[in-house]
Structure 1
Amino acid sequence: MTQPTPNPFLQPSPLPYELPPFAQIEEAHYRPALEAGMAEQLAEIAAITANPEPADFDNTLVALERTGQLLRRVQLVFENVVASDSTPALRDLDGEIQPRLAAHTDAIQLDPALFARIDAVHARREELGLDANELRVLRYWHNRFVRGGAQLDESGQARLRELNAELATLGSAFEKNLFEGTRAAAVVLDTPEELDGLPDGQIAAAAENAKALGHDGKYVLSLKNFSNQTELASLTDPKLRARLLDASLARGIEDNGPLAVRMATLRAERARLLGFDSHAAYVVADQTSGSTEAVESMLGGLVAPAVANADREGAALAASAGVERVAAADWQYLSEQVRKERYDVDGAQMRPYLELESVLVRGVFHAANLVYGITFEERPELVAHHPDARVFEVREADGRPIGLYIADFFARESKRGGAWMHEFVRQSTLLGQQSVVTNNLNIAKPPAGEPVLLTWDEVRTLFHEFGHALHGLFTDVIHPSQYMEVPRDFIEYPSQVNEMWMEWPEVFGNYARHVETGEPMPAELVERVREAQNFGEGFRTVEYLGAALLDWAWHSAPDGEGAGDAEAFEAAALRRFGLAHPSIPPRYRTGYFAHVFAGDWYSAGYYGYMWSEVLDADTVEWFKESELSVRECGEIFRRVLLAPGGSANPMTAFATFRGRAPEIQPLLKRRGLEG
């Protein structure tokens, strides 16, 4: 009889930085490890509540921080693998386990004995001699339990458990539908001639993609998880452009529309149960924005100037094409033509200068060394979660270890769309752990031996996601609960700041070199690229605002009812906000708005990208105007804003860093909205 393989999750990994032992992990290990992790944490909680000693910070809060290490170990791996290298069995397990994990969280946060101990310490907080960090930990847990329903009566808690379980089930179903629907909506083509306008490398990648998806001899354009597909800027056939955009906009709505309606209704009920007027009010009460009025004022104030800016761009496109109005599917293509005519910038002309390895090593890593002094060494002997993923060790300038960075950049059938950062291990001094983080992108993989040439947007995405990775690597906290535990409307700030380095002359000149000749991108092309970026800012702002206010509409209704048909609700919401632009669909429509409906993380929080960009634009201005060196500025930024994680109030930290509260003028200037 074959002996069962020992479950590698049941003990801390012996690998450097506790990198999960992926070479030993099998699909069959996840379920028992998740179940064992939940059982172990409940036993640890029971030990805390059974302690006969009066509750204090150490025997209650520190003890709570130490619980759940097995569950965290397996859950962090499981969540990333489901997203980046999924199988039908893993997706089925995810659908089953998410409501159980939600019930597990409720079992802890609704434990009356545990909350009584936390509440007792909170009531005596001024007399316990706690330092500032300990007080912040105490307030975090007390607030989390209160917002989690600890003060509800028995019937209220029972209903809350039902709501959370159903929402977890629906969120998993939404993501599964999106995963399958996105693949089903891929555009299959018979000949390379149909892809006229795409660079040869992209056509070859479409052929490789077709082969991977079982369409040998054909060409497949798989959809990215946003509305306007990148190929729209290059394809010369207007019928194919329309077909591609239609496939993108229609996916998910049939299966996921009803789920969105139900989730909005349940979230509204949960908010009312917890004493808030709407889910949006519940969310922002714990964010830096602080109120729904502040969010609506910021977003609403941008709509009119953004639409006016986009309409000016649309008029220029229509004039260039000799048409009365630009169709949505043609906007990106015509924009590319105008950029060529006005600024002599051709996206295809730029790609040979944007080779992936050069962008990563001579761009992203070089910038991190320039700004923070850190170094990267590839560790090929360390096995990651997929053969395409590469592991790098990150060290301080003096050689001290920081953690591991895993780069997983290529699209594949088993990976969901989009780009994101995830952690496999979270830094904590209390637990003696350092960070292991990964970036996931969805770059089309060319045939073996051919260079990977990026678009300008893909370069930006890589710098952006690496900003999240730096945040995770630089977080330096004692307690696990503080790891990157910042408000949702602040979390995008470090990543948006990191985008600035892609155009910083010393960085740009280092990586933007021709893949064959090594010659730098011509200086005049660099300048034209910068000028061309401003053309299209109106489109990008309207596209973003459409998604942000759509999210807001779903979650700001007091009762969550009345949505009815998801498409009708969406159309009415966009009209109400003045964003029903016939040529500019929102960046995400309801059927594939995974930020909002594949979980709770960004629900009523997509506005945070723009909220964070206010801080980002102000910070970029500081870097450019400072009399300090880039390295000195980087040290200040890292120490004051990245390292604290959840151990400091982020807006207080920003005021310390900038010497004042954030100002919106740099953002308006960047977005072309000053008027």
Structure 2
Amino acid sequence: MKKVFSVLLLTLMFSACKDSNKKNNIISQNSMNTNHNPLIAESTLPYGAPDFTKINNDHFREALLQGMDEKREIIENIANSTEAATFENTILALEKSGVLLDRVRNVFSALTGAHTNDTLQAVQEEMAPKFSELRDAIYLNDTLFQRVKTLYEKRVSLNLDGESLRLLENYFEDFEIAGANLSPENKEILKSYNSRLATLSNTFNKTLLEANNAGAVIFTDKSDLEGLSDTELKSLENKDGQGWKIALQNTTQQPLLQSLKKRETREKLFKAAWLRADGTAQDTKAVITEIAELRAKKGALLGFLNYAEWSLQNTMAKVPENIFELFEGLVPSATAKAGQEAKEIQEMIQKTGGDFALAPWDWNHYAEMVRKAKYDLDENQIKPYFELKTVLEKGVFYAAEKLYGITYKARTDIPTYHEDVLVYELFEENGDPLGLFYGDFFSRPSKRGGAWMSNFVDQSKLYNKKPVIYNVCNYPKPVAGEPALLTYDEVETMFHEFGHALHGFFADQQYPSLSGTSVARDFVEFPSQFNENWALYPEILKNYALHYKTGEQIPQELIDKIKKSGTFNQGYSLTENLAASNLDMQWHTIGSDTKIEDANAFEKEALHATKLDVVSAVPPRYRSTYFAHIFGSGYAAGYYSYLWTEMLHHDAYNWFETHGGLTRENGQRLRDMILSRGNTLPLEKMYKDWRGGDPKIEPMLKARGLQ
């Protein structure tokens, strides 16, 4: 993908278990028997949305190869032109190259992440090094670079408009960062590193998806699942009727640990998640070690002390030292609060008759008891008020209407890649079309874990394109006839991912590579995290939090309890996030001569060195062995961005609170000054101009209950 590191570099990602899709894959499995490939021709559907009634899995290889050939030919023509370099024949020509490839990759990436199968897996494996080779053929082409460099050096005299100048500067910086200044010999070494890393990333994602599926825990004794509701039990029933199957989420902690009463069951489920890719047939330790060591060598080859130094160019953080400074400022408070929480939980264990020391698999279960005792709030009390479609339409969309004037219409005539996917057309306040939105909310074996946003069609004035955007989540799918009821965390996730979508929908750029979410990792999460704030905003909450049976509005008493419990368990939450963020940085600040003999020992020492293991019952949100963000996606040396942008989003919400809250005027100002700007301005300047100054960390600490 060429957008959203957040949302994630899917083109090198995710393969499937061997037979998960043979029955439920809507896309035609028939072999090609026609010369017409619908991926090669532009779709005639509204907004250029992909026509999944025509797309065959076997179409992708041909279309991708043709797209790569076309792009390579265009690049060679630009580089070898005898005409003097101009913005039009070099920079604009680069921007316009690869139209077919981009269109096909957008669809291919969506399916390999959200609904993959054997055929796509094979294509993915073949294409991963080819994508890398094509990128190197562009950014390590010295003849092409010299044309770009010539224009960059005389950029002031070119009299370009602001966005065109930004495009030129971005291309020049991209070439330099990619290694355009290396010697021919070192370029060949870099190409070998890049190709191998592409293959390893694909291997990691393939193995992890298999590990997630193979790691599902099956129970045959119903008493082991004491604590789960009848609805939950029904949704977990094996298709063959033999027992109950709990699928693994991509995080360390698993949602059902909160409800399961048997300690042995909790331990079994937790350890299945913890060890899914460690010591199993799907072990990833050798893969992640090789990835980290190769990245370190790549960083050194490019002139940096480590991979993180190289990777952090063009981010807000700039250098690893600034990230470690952020960590150092948060770790003491986070672990101290987590320690206090652990003490309360241990007291609850003893109060309820337990005679054991708190372990990670106990935390969520007893923390929920503590929450009930302190705030009289039971998750099962509030879930009936959070029905998925109502949350989406009367919550997420309603907030967008109040802030930005956006309205929606369900579209049942647009084909999708899976029967669960919802499609909506969005409109501006004056009725002008804004774009298409796809919502794919339920988990399945063919979908990787987590939640993300990306585009089928990218906005650009250059091609007169409006965006076609999708959100993907992994909520448990209810059995037929039952409502999809969400936890409050899942509600926040829906608001979060739609925040990414708004960033994409409001894009107003001439050039697609600067459009929407094409910004640095440590800024792209700001619009999404900021959008979470409206989930609990009184006017929004009362509009969507309606009991799925009675339609009654959520009582103020429950709202008060949700708000009062807002800082509950924040020590745990922040510590697990810091632990994962620290692991990422430790893996990516090793030197080029470092040899990692034992991935588990490396992980243990990384946590110990930064004092993130002082509360033993708080594990990292992701272990290294299943940390897809950094080993299978675009967040290497970038997972810190969630904390970085958390500071921004709390600071931004603080601005809203002091300027009248949720109003059209405030929403329009944010849209005009940030959400619609894409990557056309320096991100620090964009935020400071909107905010009227530098962001402050105090609102974040207050929200976390650390101040």
1:547 corresponds to: 580
Select the residue among 49, 61, 64 that pairs with 1:31: 61
1:155 corresponds to: 185
The reply on whether 1:594 has 2:628 as its aligned counterpart is: yes
Deviations 1:266-308 (A, max 9, x none): 1111111111111111112221111211111001211111000
**How far, CA to CA, are the matches of 2:232 and 2:472 in structure 1?**
20
1:569 corresponds to: 602
User: TM-score, normalization: structure 1?
Assistant: 0.97
The letter for the 2-side match of 1:288 is M
Structure 1 window deviating more from structure 2 (127-136 vs 18-27): it is: 127-136
Shift of 1:349: 1.4
The reply on whether 1:228 has 2:228 as its aligned counterpart is: no
Shift of 1:532: 1.5
Select the residue among 492, 512, 516 that pairs with 2:545: 512
2:706 corresponds to: 673
The reply on whether 1:478 has 2:517 as its aligned counterpart is: no
The letter for the 1-side match of 2:474 is N
Check the 8 A contact 2:32/2:59 in 1, yes or no. Answer: no
Check the 8 A contact 1:102/1:168 in 2, yes or no. Answer: yes
Shift of 1:620: 0.8
Shift of 1:533: 2.4
Query: Does the residue aligned with 1:647 lie in a helix, a strand or coil?
Result: coil
The reply on whether 1:584 has 2:609 as its aligned counterpart is: no
Shift of 1:257: 1.0
1:613 corresponds to: 646
The letter for the 1-side match of 2:210 is E
The reply on whether 1:71 has 2:101 as its aligned counterpart is: yes
2:656 corresponds to: 623
The reply on whether 1:440 has 2:472 as its aligned counterpart is: yes
Check the 8 A contact 1:391/1:406 in 2, yes or no. Answer: yes
Query: Does the residue aligned with 2:39 lie in a helix, a strand or coil?
Result: helix
Deviations 1:49-85 (A, max 9, x none): 2333211111111111100000001111111101111
Question: Number of matched residues?
Answer: 668
Shift of 1:563: 2.0
Query: Does the residue aligned with 2:414 lie in a helix, a strand or coil?
Result: coil
Select the residue among 450, 454, 470 that pairs with 1:422: 454
Check the 8 A contact 1:199/1:348 in 2, yes or no. Answer: no
**How far, CA to CA, are the matches of 2:356 and 2:611 in structure 1?**
21
Deviations 1:107-133 (A, max 9, x none): 111112211110111111111112222
1:237 corresponds to: 262
- Structure holding more helix per residue: 1
**How far, CA to CA, are the matches of 1:219 and 1:463 in structure 2?**
31
**How far, CA to CA, are the matches of 2:79 and 2:611 in structure 1?**
54
The reply on whether 1:15 has 2:48 as its aligned counterpart is: no
2:399 corresponds to: 367
Shift of 1:473: 1.1
**How far, CA to CA, are the matches of 1:427 and 1:342 in structure 2?**
48
Q: Percent identity?
A: 39
Query: Does the residue aligned with 2:58 lie in a helix, a strand or coil?
Result: helix
CA 1:228/1:499 → structure 2, altered by over 3 Å: closer, same or farther?
A: same
Check the 8 A contact 1:266/1:560 in 2, yes or no. Answer: no
**1:159-198, aligned counterparts within 5 Å?**
159-198=189-228
Name structure 2 gaps, 5 residues minimum: 1-30
**How far, CA to CA, are the matches of 2:654 and 2:616 in structure 1?**
35
Select the residue among 388, 395, 400 that pairs with 2:427: 395
The letter for the 1-side match of 2:180 is A
CA 1:470/1:22 → structure 2, altered by over 3 Å: closer, same or farther?
A: same
**How far, CA to CA, are the matches of 2:464 and 2:442 in structure 1?**
32
Check the 8 A contact 2:647/2:696 in 1, yes or no. Answer: yes
**How far, CA to CA, are the matches of 1:3 and 1:668 in structure 2?**
61
Deviations 1:570-619 (A, max 9, x none): 011011110123101100001110000013x1000000000001110100
**How far, CA to CA, are the matches of 2:32 and 2:229 in structure 1?**
52
Structure 1 window deviating more from structure 2 (527-536 vs 654-663): it is: 527-536
Query: Does the residue aligned with 1:383 lie in a helix, a strand or coil?
Result: coil
Name structure 1 gaps, 5 residues minimum: none
**How far, CA to CA, are the matches of 2:593 and 2:566 in structure 1?**
39
**How far, CA to CA, are the matches of 1:540 and 1:8 in structure 2?**
46
Check the 8 A contact 1:314/1:325 in 2, yes or no. Answer: no
User: TM-score, normalization: structure 2?
Assistant: 0.93
The reply on whether 1:144 has 2:178 as its aligned counterpart is: no
The reply on whether 1:500 has 2:533 as its aligned counterpart is: yes
Shift of 1:517: 1.0
1:308 corresponds to: 336
Query: Does the residue aligned with 2:343 lie in a helix, a strand or coil?
Result: helix
1:490 corresponds to: 523
**1:116-155, aligned counterparts within 5 Å?**
116-155=146-185
The letter for the 2-side match of 1:588 is Y
